[in-house]
Structure 1
């Protein structure tokens, strides 16, 4: 219920911003046009945005036959999270990263990169997947997808006003100056909302993901590796669609270090500090085991096996090796 209310307030705020831009650009007729576009944006954001995001990020679906160990890991963690097993997608990029999408847990999808499987240990991959499952369970994926869709639409409307809004001063209540202000301020306002939502939800997903995997320090280790490698590796699909960067577990855009106000993600150091506190609360050490040992078998964290998994490469029947083993 809380997430539903949060999403409703967010959509209402973005719709109001959208209509305000429409009014500045075109007066009453601009409001009507903006309202129509907002309705279409809401519909697309709810029903189709997940498929659009996956397509724009060049994610390809992998089935249990082509990646049995990876699917088994996701299925096991989904059972722990008490959600249906989401569809699994692979992004062909050497940058280690991942994101989740889908309007609800029944339509969830998790996309991981080939770089994630190549550079991270099985425990770390499981921890990253658990983080993404937490987004699905909390319905963050709907919130973040709608936010990205609205941010793009607001920017589009502002640019439209730049070209056409000043031609008819009778329909434009603030004149060319108002249009210029809208073009500059509206996209920034939408981006700030988008970034604030993303940062808040990342902290929550870290906490809930740690509860799912039972191994918070594995996620801390994964974030350390991802931050070190991702900043030096280009994710072409993400660079072409920067408005979706906030959906990833770590900012996929290379060479863009901005201050906290404009950051799409919390600082890695702050996320790791939180995970270390969670590990202390859970009594879990760096190997993922509880300390001191508990006699209750239900409190034992399962270990990943050391066998290797195989994930099919794009456009081929061959498989590429990733990681040292599945979650087993």
Structure 2
């Protein structure tokens, strides 16, 4: 049986292939004059014959991979898929676009707020710790910093800064639920200078919000575009309050909220990796992250053991670093 990658490669031999993501399906659109004056079932049979598979196999791979195959002429495509037809962002559409060499990147208007995303494919890579250290260093240098905890399944920035939000208005959950205002917690004020760090926690500390937080996690899986709306609102708030930097802490792995954030607010990403070979299965997913901001993709950060010489560490891991 063919898989999704084999289907994409075969489709490129039949006609021009493009994609449109309409959650939860990726529309694989094969455009060719050969479909002119053919009914849909005839087009499907024609396509299967050209890619050397059966209709049953084709439908099975489409179902398993959440794909919708559209076989269209150029005129039909322009009518059915006008510009800006995409609805949302996900790892599924990102990987398919990588295979097709297609970019979804749209340059955002300048706001004066520098955005940095923090991501790691596996947990325990010191991602949140690094964000906390950097935000504190920036505040010490006079920067006004807003940090957002978007690790919806296991938030931790409130513990890292030892300051929990007691009100809904100071949380990402509150932004999603459209509270009337955003009121972050001030978590760091240097002794000297004008810099500070404000925290928009993921959720209020009280257990009274456990049900809301559980529903929030489920909604993000079912309606990832709510994160895009929240990201735009937080960016507008950051510009209005004249923050210098917006640092966003993302969930590790394939969280459904990561790419909606990064695609809505394209910016460099700090990718935290432990050089233990366990990052290798994530290579294509990391590429998806870095492709969200072509001009300045970001940096990789790893941590060496305290008792090892830096030169030794670099030499020992030279293949992975390359």
Alignment TM class, shorter chain as reference: under 0.3
Structure with more of its chain in strand, by fraction: 2
TM-score by length of 2: 0.22
Which structure has the larger Rg over C-alpha atoms? 2
